[in-house]
Amino acid sequence: FAALLDLKAEDQTDLLTPLHQIAELVKKRSLIIIISDLLDEPERIMEAFKHFRARKHEVLVFHIIDPKEEKFDYKREAQFIDSETGEKITVSPWQIRKEYVENFHQFAEYLKRECYKNQIEYNPVDTYTPIEDLLLKYLIKRQKG
């Protein structure tokens, strides 16, 4: 777990290319654990996940969600900074909140539905959950059956 705890978000992340590469490299049937905010095109994300399933891997997804992103409960005009690109945008939350929340929930529901259809275990997790707790609880639950 120590190596995971030391990881820092930086620059733009290309999640999909490494996932496809790993799917090709791992020959023996394995448990693939993906921990990500999954901020990419949902159809492309699912294609990468399906690639693992096509190679007979078991796939476990922990979708990391910041409650602030999910609820978009901002009261005043605010500046948002993309943590990967550094791009800044100033918005009035009351003007975009409804559409943003609808889009966010459609995105999450799409991933949940498509994962279920493809026998991929999907677990939404908020950013306040320590990663070591998350994995430990899951592995204990899995061991018990």
Give pLDDT tens digits for 40-63. 999 999 999 999 999 999 999 999
Q: Where residue 1 falls among pLDDT bands split at 50, 70, 90? A: very low
* 25/3 Cα distance (integer angstroms): 22
What is the domain extent for residue 108? 2-144
77-95 pLDDT per residue, tens: 888 888 778 899 888 888 8
Domain count, the chain: 1
Cα dist from 112 to 8, 54, 79, 109, 118, whole Å: 26, 19, 30, 5, 10
